[in-house]
Amino acid sequence: MQLEQAFQDPQLCRSLLDRLNRALDGRSMRFMEVCGTHTVAIFQSGLRSLLPDTVAHLSGPGCPVCVTHDAEVAAFLDLAGRDNVIIATFGDLLRVPGPGGRSLKHAQAQGARVEIVYSPLDALTLAANNPGDIVVFLGIGFETTAPTVAATLLTARQRKLENFCVLSLHKLVPPALRTLLDDSQCAVEAFLLPGHVSTILGLEPYGFLAKDYHVPGVVGGFQPADILLALCMMAEQIRDNAPAVVNAYPRAVGDAGNPRARALLEQFFMPADALWRGIGSIPQSGLTLRPEYEDMNAMVRLDLTLPDVPPLPGCRCGDVLKGRMAPPDCPLFGKKCTPATPVGPCMVSTEGSCAAYFKYSER
Amino acid sequence: MEDCLLLDAGSGGRASQRLISQCFFRHFANPLLERMDDAALLTDIHGPLAMSTDSYTVTPLIFPGGSIGSLAVHGTVNDVAMLGARPRYLSCAFILEEGLSLETLERITADMAAAAREAGVHIVTGDTKVVPRGACDKIFINTTGIGEVFANPVPSGHSARPGDAVLVSGAMGDHGLTVMGSREGLSFLTDVASDSAPLNHMIEDILQSAEEVHVLRDPTRGGLATTLNEIAEQSQVGILLEETAIPVHEAVRNGCSFLGLDPLYLANEGKCICIVPEDKAEAALEAMRRSPYGKEATRVGTVTEGKAQVSLQTRIGGRRLLGMLEGAQLPRIC
Ligand code: SF4
């Protein structure tokens, strides 16, 4: 904790800000923070109010709740209505609106059994205590959370718990970045890469950013000084026209990531095409359970399909996630769409960019 | 007596009488209550009066630093006191679930009695209902308090003025994190305890020492951030807080950062916010620090002109909005 506090030191931040200004030397920079935790940290620490005007920060597709497609929300809402099904989920999914604005909170009020868990392992306890029901854990998240879900599947096997399964809606970060960069309208000049995801992946999976697209990528931590340091490195790479993928968060991220966690992931999951809200289908950007674990795959076991759901009228989440639009420029922002009456998930998720703008910007 | 509560105890007959005399009368003993008339006759209380009511439901019933019983007294006593009033009398209504352990009920009742004694209030009228298993969560308590207003002017959320100093009587978030921690069985939260406490004596001292107090509020549900937002709205002023000045205990800060919670939105049950003219700030702080419940009192910000919003000057010198809480804060571990 003390170490973390050192990265909030005002003097250290001041000197990094000076370094950033020197590197920018009046030119502008459009960077994208891929991860929602970064978005929130930038606001919460007050960093945004200190950044030079020439730095535009775009919030990327890195909030696991925000990128969950309407069809996926519709699917788990469908599950929540079924007899003998108990949904186990992290709290952030409760208020995510699906088709018609309905959320798990509504389902719960109408009698659905939705339990908030703090670890996927808690879902196993639920399963053990309710042998007559089937417990479905909503597997939402990126490479960071997926290994714990894999570990839970392993434990479920070892304990021979037959009434536990996972609805795997996990997403993978690197394929999404490639899709963004392939978009001709993409205006991102550098990526602040997600610290948590990188603890698992390491640097290698991002190598293509610099190699194929000539775009810098810096893995950054979540304290203000961490973020500032990453921004300095991005600006310097742009200035020197020397893009590279580098690690500015070595106290948590090893360059090789966590091979054991990746092995566990691979044991249970394999890549599959996945739907991203506002972006659509991205090839090989999700994780599905391997065929040998079909009995723990909620899609198969409970015979689920992702329904065709028309996009939410007026919601510009896709443009926000792609960095084409800042949240306040969405016509619904702060009017029809507020944290109390969210139109899109970006407005309810604790890591959502619309929510962060709404929550932290002085008006 | 049986060791758990039976539905009979709510029948109004002998079983009810037994419960009332063996549990409530024994602990709450005072002549007004013991008259057992339909209402309490209060002859020695003089207006203007302040009155407040609140219902208490909390899981678990007993937590580090208190119980639903002490909470039900402190909460209402403090609400009455925040109006610049001296709390005198409380009513108390119990809704009890069949099967409740009588030992638990006894402990809670004893806590209420002790809390009332410390606050100097009497519980003079009450009611007991027993409902079938499943109809309520073990025990709900409603208390109503009545007190004599002595402050002039009466502090109110509408009275904050630009230039006023914003003070708090101690560290934020202890109660909220404690209850959440004991509810979820988070064993690593060993160093936190609820701050539940009666603040009426401290408030009386503040009002006498500072002479002019614009706002007094207890930042219960929604915490400091939400309460200050309410005040900003009511008074149509801005409030600028200094993040580094806001006291938060180390254990609470660590627990919150682990769970993804913000201590500024967590409930407090033994703290007050006090907004006073700049030149009264020192006197008010000294009064708070004289109380055992105000030792960590400190100035956290200033009332400003402009939009009705609360802003935070952050640790690194940036600024951001500190908005109102939307829905409940949910702990997150990921
Ligand atoms: S403001 Fe609301 S509607 Fe607009 S993009 Fe954000 S979440 Fe979607």
Residue A188: CA count within 13 A, CB half-sphere:
34
When pLDDT is cut at 50, 70 and 90, the band that residue B2 belongs to is: low
pLDDT for B332 equals 59
Q: Is B291 an 8 Å CB contact of chain A?
A: no
Q: Calculate the average pLDDT of chain A.
A: 92
Domain count for chain B: 2
Specify whether B108 is located in the same domain as B225.
no
CA-CA distance, B151 to B165, in Å (whole number)?
Answer: 19
CATH assignment of A1-326, given 1.10.287.990, 3.40.30.10, 3.40.1050.10, 3.40.50.11740? 3.40.50.11740
Q: Is A47 at the interface with chain B, CB within 8 A?
A: yes
pLDDT of A286 > 70? The answer is yes
**What mean pLDDT do residues A131-145 have?**
94
Handedness of CA B204, B205, B206, B207 (dihedral sign): positive
The last residue of one of the domains, among B149, B176, B210, is B149
pLDDT of residue B331: 64
Best A12, A49, A115 residue to mutate vs chain B (most B CBs within 10 Å): A49
The shortest C-alpha distance from B294 to chain A (Å) reads 27
Q: Which domain holds residue B42?
A: 7-149
Q: List CB contacts (< 8 A) between B327 and chain A.
A: 95, 339
Q: Considering only CA atoms, which residue is closest to atom 3 of ligand 1?
A: A315
Return the residue whose CA atom lies nearest to atom 6 of ligand 1: A354
CATH code, domain carrying B31:
3.30.1330.10
A277 lines ligand 1 (CB under 6 A): no
Residue A92 sits at the chain B interface (C-beta within 8 Å)? yes
Return the domain boundaries, chain A. 1-326, 327-358
Of B83, B116, B149, the position where a domain reaches its end is: B149
Q: Residues A345, A347, A349, A354: what is their CA dihedral angle, to the nearest 10 degrees? A: 110
> What phi, psi does A247 have (nearest 5°)?
-110, 110
The Å distance, Cα A312 to ligand 1 centre, comes to 10
Closest CA to B151 of B214, B90, B219: B214
Examine residue B327 and state whether it is found in any structural domain, yes or no. Answer: no
Residues B113 and B258 in one domain: no
Residue B235 sits in the same domain as residue B201: yes
pLDDT (0 to 100) of residue B19:
87
Pocket test for ligand 1, best of A320, A329, A348 (most atoms within 8 A of CB): A320
Contact with chain B for residue A15, Cβ under 8 A: no
Residue B160 belongs to some domain of the structure: no
Domain end point (choices B91, B122, B149): B149
Statement to judge: residues B43 and B142 lie in one domain: yes
Distance separating alpha carbons of residues A163 and A29, to the nearest angstrom? 51
pLDDT of residue A2: 63
- pLDDT (tens digit per residue) in B90-134: 999 999 999 999 999 999 999 999 999 999 999 999 999 999 998
pLDDT at A96: 86
- pTM confidence score: 0.86
Asked if pLDDT for residue A26 goes beyond 80, the answer is yes
pLDDT digits over B55-81, tens only? 999 999 999 999 999 999 999 999 999
Residue bearing tokens 């990746």: A262
Cβ of A320 less than 6 Å from ligand 1 = yes
Q: How far is A6 from chain B (nearest CA, A)?
A: 11
**Sheet of strand B139-149: strand arrangement:** B49-56, B139-149, B85-97, B122-131
Nearest to A95 among B312, B327, B331 (CB): B327
H helices of chain B, in order, are: 14-19, 26-28, 31-34, 68-81, 102-119, 174-184, 200-210, 223-235, 250-259, 281-290
Q: B134 and B220 share a domain?
A: no
What pLDDT, on a 0 to 100 scale, did the predictor assign at position B334?
40
pLDDT tens string A170-221: 999 999 999 999 998 888 999 999 988 999 999 999 999 999 999 999 999 9
Subunit contact A1:B257, Cβ cutoff 8 A: yes
Measured between beta carbons, which residues in chain B are less than 8 angstroms from residue A90?
332, 334
Instruction: State whether B136 and B173 are in the same domain.
Output: no
* pLDDT digits 0-9 by tens, B147-173: 999 999 999 999 999 999 999 999 999
Predicted-complex ipTM score: 0.80
